[in-house]
Chain A
Amino acid sequence: MPTVYVTYTPKNNGKPPENLISAQAGKETLQLVPVEIGSDKLNCIQAAQRAGVFIPHYCWHPALTVVASCRMCLVEVGERKPDGSIAMTGKLVPGCQTPVKDGTVVVTNSQKVVHEQAQTLESLLLNHPLDCPVCDKAGECLLQDYTYEFGRATSRMIDLKNTPANKPDLGPNIALFTDRCIMCSRCVRFTREIAGTAELQIINRGNHSEIDIFPGEPLDNKLATNVVDLCPVGALCSKDFLYKHRVWNLKTQNSVCPDCSTGCSIHLDGNKNIVYRLRPRENPQAQGYFMCDEGRLGYHYINSKERFLRPLRRQDGKLTPFSYDEAIRTVRQMLKDAVAKDAFGVVVVLSPFLTCEEAFLLAKYAKSLSKAVQLALGPVPIVGEDDTYPKDRRGRPIQPVKFTIRAEKCPNRQGVERILRHYQGQLIAFDEVVRQAEAGKLQLLYLAASYPPRGDGWLTAEQAATLGKVGQVILHDLYPSRASEIAHVVIPGGAFAEKDGTFVNHAGLAQAIHWAITPTGECRTEGQVVLDLMQRPGLLHAATLRKELASEVKAFAALASGDLGEYGILLDSTK
């Protein structure tokens, strides 16, 4: 088995690994952690990572080409001979560019390496303004972190720093603080290799190098804001987040972007019941390392003041608030009465924005009232066609595809469909519901909608007019819309940031979402509302429900443990 050896640096509180070995390299004794790499092609940084040793780096990123220019990851390498002795090359090499093979020894803590790391950091800070108190990145800045861990306490430079002018309008969503830049060129490579649009370049030479755009061509593509995450320092800032919040006050939850069926893994950063930003979370099973700007910047509706805060019922043609408990009692009674009268005339519509758990509870509840109750899938928003990247300069997609923004603008059609198929055999599309309403066959419509406000609304004017003929309409939704105009009872819904549950993306990957904020006012998530309707006591616990779902719905059997892990679990495809 090919094995790589990485030096072990004792830490204050850590215990040394058990497989630690001692080896002699010239006069020095090295403490080495052996790590098996199999047939993987790794560089020193990746191999060390597997051994639990961190090699600092700026310019290297697993999704981008290697340029080996920041010189932060310098290490010494050698080879462990079969007799156990070690021959070092005696030269510093960039870890990102140096592949490891069987017997490679990576030295990350020799005097030479430690000195060079400090030296590189001192160099990077020579022209860095150190304006951390007003910098958005402070707290999650790699320049801060590495300087603290590997750098010197003081700089020896007493001369004036270079002060290139800031570029606040690099793009509609991005500002460049030119002086903070450390020239790792990750952003430039991203626009060339992943987006393909190549808006960014480096201008000037030497220590006057700057990131810039071509005149009149702003950094404006659908993936542009990823450069903010890629930027290891505070040079590229998202205007959406700029000066909004200090990052160390943010609480981060793992979640999934609900804006298209790609289902990008994200970090959801919020504080005090306000969502401040979405960031992509690395997930090789879902989207990779990035996310699109539509998803990233599309969260503002969560914090909106327009949202329904209390249950409403129609009295004298106007929606008037009433209490949550009364609302639950009313809705339960309406459903019971309607089912008793004509169960075939009761339709429950599940939107593809519901989590699997919510869809499962609602479907189970509806079918428990009567097998005859119809379950239908809500409108699936489709906008244009799948949008793939990289693109060339003329906007034509090129192969191989590295990122796809999908036309299906909802997170969980796959999951909801699987549940509907289980409970009903065949899938009833929303158009069929409208047709039945037109024919006057329906007496009660239960719309579990909770669509985010996009475009013209989720219901067309014609659909709304037709559905308005149904005697009773119960609606879960976030915002006043055409649907709420025809609803008799409105129960405020929850947004994805308020929910615990499961989304299934286009490829059948089930990923967990977690709540970062709680629903405001008298809002409850749909899942909680259904639990209350079912008179199941307690709060919604996603893992428990997931186990129940896995045991009852065959399509979800893979989730039996209830834990989806960081990257999610692929369900068997139903295709």
Chain B
Amino acid sequence: MAEFEPVLLRRILKNASPSLEAYRADGGYRALDKALAMSPADVTKAVVDSKLRGRGGAGFPCGVKWTFLPKDHPGPIYLCVNADESEPCTFNNRILMHQDPHQVLEGMIIASYAIRAQVAYLYIRYEYGDATRAMQQAIDEAYAAGLLGKNILGKQGFDLDVYIHRGAGAYICGEETGLIESLEGKRAWPRIKPPFPAVEGAFRKPTIVNNIETLACVTHILDRGPEWFKSMGTPADPANPRDAGSYGPKLYCISGHVNKPCCVELPLGVTARELIDKHGGGVWKGRKAKAIVPGGISMGFLTADEIDTKLDFGSLGPFTKNGCLGLGTAAVTVIDEETSMVDVLYNICRFFEHESCGQCTPCREGTGWMLKIVDRIRKGLGRAEDLNILEEVGHQIGIMPGTTICGLADGAGWPVKQAIRKFRAEFESYIKSGKKTHTLQLVAAH
């Protein structure tokens, strides 16, 4: 592992200039040249062969998603780039967009070529002002250099326009159909599926929604080939037909109670312990970790005993031993031993209560109810049976049991369910102790 050389962060770690000139000097847009020499189907095949899985959270194979587009569709086909990076403690997309925008843009152009899209929308969350400006500058440079617009790089018939759309700050806009609704100017209520966006998405046309990091990976897959990409990460478990493997580099965000919060690039499959101790500088103040969020708070918790869990698509999941929802965004948040899990859960519930879009009854009411219960427990008025209710509600909401339209509810229920299951003793002793914690008015969340 020690010899791993960063790919996505290669230029960023060198503090290279984000300009087109500097990017080209570092070998930029070589991948695009290679892609344009191939047919769109071959580009798609390369991505399928690389087994690149979506970096946005769900881990759906990227190339496979592209093949879901209807064949011979007269168009238009749209590419939507999901830069509504709203999972708490996740900040890798921001770094990519802000410091190396052309890498992202190159991936977008390649993806648009592969799926025959002539318009790409870049949906950036409102809070990312610097990243938006950096991307816009990159887009302007690309237009001037003939990398966007008509007949790109002399390739007849390959036109692409890129538009930046800034969100207004809602977690639900990161859900792909919520994003599309928001892009269309509507309230970001996720759509019922089917039809999936690849069949009927933005403006009722076939649409592919990809994450920023996914597209950055596409750039390098085209440059260095699928075999190179597959040489990194955790291979698929042959005993488990559901496991599609976890290949390639991944940006891990480390935050919380560590000495050195950072974003590092490592091949998929690094353990939580290595991330925290080696890259995050260890848990702060000489304490131990009590719980580790493996990939954004909607994924659940790893306990201190599970610190050696590999952080990849196969080792985290509802059917694994740790029972986390998945790898998510690979945003690792460390919670030290002196932090109350009641407070942690309260904060999580507050977030999801605020961010539930309110469309489906179980999520709308469930997130509110869970917050009220946890708040009451925190104020010293908890009852033993409240924990059972929390666990039940947390277990029942989401697309996995089939009770909601989108996955926000799974993410809202999962940490609650896991916190109760894994830290029940702490909750019980808190309730018995009669301790009271007063709610701080947190302004930042609004």
Interface residue ranges, A against B (CB under 8 Å) = 66-72, 74, 91-94, 97, 116, 119-120, 123-124, 126-127, 156-160, 162, 182-183, 201-202, 204-209
Contacts and interface: CB of A to CB of B under 8 A. Distances in A.
A67 B372 contact: no
Nearest to A59: B361
A159 B372 contact: yes
Nearest to A76: B402
Nearest to A160: B372
Contacts of A124: 361, 365
A206 B412 CA distance: 12
Interface of B: 170, 187, 189, 192, 353-362, 364-369, 372-373, 376, 385, 389, 396, 401-405
Contacts of B356: 205-207
Nearest to B365: A123
B353 A207 contact: yes
Contacts of A160: 372
Contacts of B357: 205-206
A205 B354 contact: yes
Contact of B389 (A74, A156, A201, A207): A156
Given A91-B402, A159-B373, A209 B368 contact: no
Contacts of A71: 360-362, 403-404
Most buried by B among A157, A159, A204: A159
A389 B345 CA distance: 50
A68 B403 contact: no
A543 to B, nearest CB: 47
B192 A67 contact: yes
A127 B376 contact: no
A234 B414 CA distance: 34
Contacts of B354: 205-206
A123 B354 CA distance: 17
B365 A126 contact: yes
Nearest to B403: A71
17 contacts: A68-B405, A69-B361, A71-B361, A93-B402, A120-B403, A123-B361, A126-B369, A127-B368, A156-B389, A157-B369, A157-B372, A159-B369, A202-B187, A202-B358, A205-B170, A206-B353, A206-B357
Given A93-B402, A205-B170, A120 B362 contact: yes
A159 B390 CA distance: 13
B192 A66 contact: yes
B403 A209 contact: no
A298 B357 CA distance: 40
A160 to B, nearest CB: 8
A183 B368 contact: no
Given A123-B369, A209-B364, 12 more contacts: A68-B192, A69-B361, A71-B360, A119-B396, A123-B362, A123-B364, A123-B366, A159-B372, A201-B187, A202-B187, A204-B358, A207-B368
Contacts of A182: 361
Contacts of B362: 71, 119-120, 123
A453 B401 CA distance: 59
B403 A116 contact: yes
A69 B191 CA distance: 10
Contacts of B405: 68-69
B351 to A, nearest CB: 11
B361 A74 contact: no
A149 to B, nearest CB: 17
A286 to B, nearest CB: 31
B362 to A, nearest CB: 6
A74 B192 CA distance: 14
Contacts of A68: 192, 405
Q: Which of A119, A124, A202 has the most CB of B within 10 A?
A: A119
Nearest to A115: B396
A73 to B, nearest CB: 11
Contacts of A93: 402
Given A66-B192, A119-B362, A159-B376, A206 B367 contact: yes
Contacts of A94: 192
Task: Enumerate the 7 nearest inter-chain pairs by beta-carbon distance, A residue then B residue, closest first.
Answer: A207-B368, A92-B402, A123-B365, A209-B358, A206-B356, A159-B372, A91-B402
Nearest to A120: B361
B318 to A, nearest CB: 14
Contact of B360 (A69, A119, A156): A69
Nearest to A162: B368
A205 B355 contact: yes
A289 to B, nearest CB: 22
B371 to A, nearest CB: 9
Contacts of B192: 66-68, 94, 97
Nearest to A69: B359
A324 B366 CA distance: 67
A183 B358 contact: yes
B372 A92 contact: no
A72 B355 contact: no
A183 B359 CA distance: 8
B413 to A, nearest CB: 12
Contacts of A159: 369, 372-373, 376
B365 A127 contact: yes
A126 B362 CA distance: 11
A160 B187 CA distance: 28
Highest count of chain B CB atoms <10 Å: which of A116, A119, A201, A206: A206
Contacts of B361: 69-72, 120, 123-124, 182-183
A206 B368 contact: yes
A497 to B, nearest CB: 39
A205 B373 contact: no
A206 B355 contact: yes
Nearest to B356: A206
A120 B361 CA distance: 7
B406 to A, nearest CB: 11
Contacts of B372: 157, 159-160
A71 B385 CA distance: 26
Contacts of A158: 376
